[in-house]
Amino acid sequence: MTLYTFECDPTGTPTRLLVSNTDAGNGTIANPGNNNTLGNTVGGSVGVDLNYTKDSFGFTDVYVWANSNIFKSSYYFVTNQVTGEKVTFGNDWTLSFLSNKIRQIISIVSFPIFAAVIECNTGYILGTSSFAPLLLDDQLLTLPQVNDVYLQDFYAVVSSKFGPVQNLSQSLNNAAQFIHVNFPGTENWFVDRKMGTSNWKVGVNSCTITGKQLLFVIYMNVDSVEEQLNKLSVITGDIMAGIITVFVLIGIGFALVISRQLLAVVTQIKLAQDLKLDDMLNEEHERYSFIFELAELQKAFNGMMFVFKDFLKRNHQMTRRVGPGNSEAVKPSDNINFGSKPTNNSSN
């Protein structure tokens, strides 16, 4: 079987042949050549480790190919039910695409942050926000070999936490198992780190994807987060102080308006108390409040005072003369202001 790999345009149309593989190998797992069945079986050279009796899909290990690009491939195997022929579907992923996506995601965060995805079985970096080289002479670098301060620190975290181990893969898998056992459900492990003069919070998430144990690592600058939270708190405090001040001023204004309206009502009541009904009912005091309840109170009170004034006038007229003769029997109090006094037209 010959394997062909083409470069395609955005529509999927092949534009040029990148490579063709006619290497037949020697028919063993160690040297499968272009035999996908041998290369992808359990213990195969590409790391898919498929058990064909029950598995039909898997991912390869990370590998370098085609102009020093880092790839990870997925394979899907089906069997023709009539002929028994095995058919392979493959999909190659460039890991630079994953790193670019990580950088795009964390670019929206305003404080310093670092992220990486590490494959436990190999120690290779699948994707990272760092621009540190992951290759040296077309050879993949493992976690401790990458020249990046965050990855170096994480390697120190894993090594110190789980003690000396035989190899990197065992150390990373121990970390994944520790997270799985001690943080079930969330699968998140948080560690406080001091790097230089800054405090950092490290979050490690353990995840298994298509049989591959992965660690998602995120470094977040705690000092920067606290600084931005303090700035936000000050801004929020100023806004709240402004809002409170506005409401206080509105309350004071409202209280002044209400007090002026109540004063008008109290003035009318005092005039009525002194029986100065004409003063109370003159045009100035008949202007009603714009507050509905006070206006209704004024209307009802003025109506009552009109009735009371009319009653006093009638009572005055009835009691001015009593019995035979023209002697004045009852004289209303001089303090009562009835308005214009009626003319005295008494006859003999």
Closest CA to 142 of 163, 123, 165, 164: 123
pLDDT confidence of residue 289 = 64
pLDDT value, residue 222: 87
Structure-model confidence comparison of residues 307 and 105, the more confident one: 105
Q: How many CB atoms lie under 10 A from the CB of residue 338?
A: 14
CATH of domain 109-227: 3.30.450
Per-residue pLDDT, 149: 92
Distance CA 77, CA 36 (A): 10
Cα-to-chain-centroid distance, residue 130: 26
Question: Where in the chain does DSSP place strands (E)?
Answer: 3-8, 14-21, 57-59, 63-65, 69-79, 86-94, 113-119, 125-128, 135-136, 139-140, 188-195, 198-209, 212-221
Of the listed ranges 79-93, 124-138, 151-165, the one predicted with least confidence:
79-93
User: Using CA atoms, how far apart are residues 206 and 215, in angstroms rounded to an integer?
Assistant: 5
Buried b (16+ CB within 10 A) or exposed e, 179-192: beeeeeeebebeee
CA distances from 268 to 95, 186, 262, 311 (A): 88, 74, 10, 19
**Residue 162 CB partners (closer than 8 Å, separation 6+):** 171, 174, 175, 178
Number of helices and strands in the chain (H, E): 7, 13
pLDDT at 115: 93
Band the pLDDT of 151: cuts 50, 70, 90.
very high
Segment 9-26 mean pLDDT: 72
Query: Does the predicted TM-score (pTM) go above 0.75?
Result: no
Average pLDDT of the segment spanning 132-138: 86
Residue 67 pLDDT grade (very low, low, confident, very high; cuts 50, 70, 90): low
* Domain map (residue ranges) of the chain: 3-93, 109-227, 274-348
Both tokens assigned to 105: 């995601």
Model pLDDT, residue 153 = 92
Is residue 279 classed exposed, middle or buried when 0-12, 13-18 and 19+ CB atoms within 10 A define those classes? middle
Residue 75's nearest CA partner among 44, 98, 104 is 44
Measured CA distances, 35 to 2, 30, 32, 165, 347 (Å): 9, 11, 5, 35, 145
